[in-house]
Amino acid sequence: MTVKVRFAPSPTGYLHIGNARPALLNWLFALSHGGQFVLRIDDTDVERCRDEYRLAIGEDLAWLGITPHELHRQSERTALYDAAVETLKANGRLYPCYETADELERRRARQRARGLPPIYDRAALALSDAERAALEAAGRKPHWRFKLDGAPVSWTDLVRGEERVETTSLSDPILVREDGTYLYTLPSVVDDIEMGITHVIRGEDHVTNTGVQIAIIQALGGAVPVFAHANLLATTAGEAFSKRSGALSLRTLRRDGYEAMAVASIAVLTGTSDEVHAYRNLDELAAHVDLAHVSRSTAKFDPHELDALNARLVHKLDHATVADRLAALGIGGGEAFWFAVRDNLAKVVDAALWWRVVEGPIEPVVAAEDVDFLGAAKALLPEEPWDETTWGTWTKIVGAATGRKGRALFMPLRQALTGLDHGPELKRLLPLIGRRNTLARLP
Ligand SMILES: Nc1ncnc2c1ncn2[C@@H]1O[C@H](COP(=O)(O)OP(=O)(O)OP(=O)(O)O)[C@@H](O)[C@H]1O
């Protein structure tokens, strides 16, 4: 059996780090099983969906390294959903209901007052043809409910283990609204069957839908896929991310200079029993992800952890990986510059600060009591060519000539040459700064 998974976001906002979790869990599952990944845009809600968000989904997934094998839009597949509706009607599993939202709410309130569960009482099933005709003549349009058969539904969830739903405790779900549009459930199920989805990996916000979905799949004669419901990512304060709020969107994280692999690693490994480690590529990450290690409690996303992870990843990046981005920032210096500064970076973009230190102009910091010392150092500056030994040679002779050592020797030189009192090793920076710039920065 070829594994086929799907990620099915609604284009109602920019993907956030929480959405990245199921997107990646699906992609990594496909990667490690040699499977196919379907991107299925859930754009049936025309009011809330926007083209801009749809296009952004593709871009944001590509940034993470996800390149779907198939792309579908549910808005283009309504003929399939209409056909499924006819099948369910023909099998007596879909029935028209005429209650208004207010009537249903009053009925539920009465049930609750009598201590009964607020389950739909199937009153519409008892309507005669004449009563239905009268309602329609009065201008009422039906919504359509799926008739659950009362059999318990169970599945083995790859994250949550054995799950069982008593369908007698559920209302018959509405699949089609009064205006003929579909709620989420039917298109999702029809597409999973038609596309041959073998594994449905998604957030646990969907776990309550699963019992009903399995019942509908069975009523349509489809093969029931394997389900996996991963815990949701929340803020450290416990708030869920939402597309509507725009918080921690993948676009913002990209714009703020985070590495896609730092974001991917944290989105996947937070809330699992595995260590949150920054893997260098998705193949490496795939080898370390196991749905059975995903925990059941909410996963807390800590932005400080992302910062730390990002820095650790940047410190390991080779020059070829970042060359294009450095060039786009106007940064030269090749491999020598990158290796000189990368350990001091939290993000790749921060390299621009050190490139400015190399190229100038900078504001040298010179304390009054160091002017003579720096003048002496200037006079002893070696001739080029320079390499990583030059700093050692120079400071040795300056130390001998001035009697300074340790911090008193090194700090005034660092401050004059870089304008800062911290930074990359000067033995690496000095050859990049060069003799001409060095002379100009010393008094
Ligand atoms: N905070 C979260 N953590 C993990 N997964 C999430 C989170 N929020 C949504 N998901 C998952 O993202 C996938 C896409 O869902 P969907 O498009 O409904 O996103 P959403 O953020 O819930 O949207 P909206 O804010 O528009 O309701 C689903 O698998 C869903 O379970």
> 332 with 273, same domain?
no
Spell out the residues 6+ positions from residue 38 whose beta carbon is closer than 8 angstroms to its own: 4, 5, 6, 7, 68, 69, 70, 71, 72, 195, 197
Average pLDDT over residues 105-130: 96
The answer, yes or no, to whether any atom of ligand 1 lies below 6 A from the CB of 21, is yes
> 18 with 77, same domain?
yes
The answer, yes or no, to whether any atom of ligand 1 lies below 6 A from the CB of 399, is no
| Minimum-distance ligand 1 atom for the alpha carbon of 8 | 14
List own/partner pairs for 388-395 with CB under 8 A and 24 or more apart: 388/427, 388/428, 388/431, 389/427, 390/427, 390/430, 390/431, 391/426, 391/427, 391/430, 392/427, 394/430
Longest dimension (CA), the chain: 111
For residue 441, what is the enclosing H or E element?
helix 426-441
**Is 124 a member of any domain?**
no
Answer yes or no: is pLDDT of 242 > 90: no
The answer, yes or no, to whether any atom of ligand 1 lies below 6 A from the CB of 91, is no
> 409 with 335, same domain?
no
**Is 138 a member of any domain?**
no
The answer, yes or no, to whether any atom of ligand 1 lies below 6 A from the CB of 241, is yes
Please write the tens of the pLDDT for every residue from 128-150: 999 999 999 999 999 999 999 99
ipTM of the complex model: 0.95
CATH of the domain at 161: 3.40.50.620
> 40 with 79, same domain?
yes
The answer, yes or no, to whether any atom of ligand 1 lies below 6 A from the CB of 271, is no
CATH of the domain at 397: 1.10.10.350
Please write the tens of the pLDDT for every residue from 379-422: 999 999 999 999 999 999 999 999 999 999 999 999 999 999 99
List own/partner pairs for 325-331 with CB under 8 A and 24 or more apart: 325/349, 326/351, 329/355, 330/355, 331/355
> 161 with 287, same domain?
yes
Average pLDDT over residues 44-53: 92
> 20 with 162, same domain?
yes
The answer, yes or no, to whether any atom of ligand 1 lies below 6 A from the CB of 187, is no
Tell me how far the alpha carbon of residue 19 lies from the centroid of ligand 1, in angstroms: 5
Give the residue from 359, 391, 419 where a domain finishes: 359
Answer yes or no: is pLDDT of 50 > 80: yes
396 is known to lie in a ligand binding site: no
**Is 221 a member of any domain?**
yes
> 3 with 27, same domain?
yes
> 285 with 343, same domain?
no
Tell me how far the alpha carbon of residue 232 lies from the centroid of ligand 1, in angstroms: 8
The answer, yes or no, to whether any atom of ligand 1 lies below 6 A from the CB of 250, is no
> 298 with 416, same domain?
no
The residue whose CA is least distant from atom 2 of ligand 1 is: 18
Tell me how far the alpha carbon of residue 268 lies from the centroid of ligand 1, in angstroms: 14
Tell me how far the alpha carbon of residue 31 lies from the centroid of ligand 1, in angstroms: 22
**Is 110 a member of any domain?**
no
d(CA 313, CA 343): 10
Note the pTM of the prediction, 2 decimals. Answer: 0.92
Please write the tens of the pLDDT for every residue from 299-317: 999 999 999 999 999 999 9
Q: Grade residue 92 by pLDDT with cuts at 50, 70 and 90.
A: very high
The answer, yes or no, to whether any atom of ligand 1 lies below 6 A from the CB of 202, is yes
Give the residue from 331, 359, 387 where a domain finishes: 359
Q: Grade residue 240 by pLDDT with cuts at 50, 70 and 90.
A: confident
In the chain, the number of structural domains is: 3
Per-residue burial over 337-363, b if 16 or more Cβ lie within 10 Å, else e, is bbebbbebbebbbbbeebbebbbeebe
**Is 109 a member of any domain?**
no
**Is 430 a member of any domain?**
yes
The answer, yes or no, to whether any atom of ligand 1 lies below 6 A from the CB of 240, is yes
> 197 with 211, same domain?
yes
**Is 111 a member of any domain?**
no
**Is 43 a member of any domain?**
yes
> 273 with 157, same domain?
yes
Tell me how far the alpha carbon of residue 270 lies from the centroid of ligand 1, in angstroms: 16
> 312 with 323, same domain?
no
Please write the tens of the pLDDT for every residue from 154-178: 999 999 999 999 999 999 999 999 9
| Minimum-distance ligand 1 atom for the alpha carbon of 205 | 31
Domain that holds residue 343: 319-359
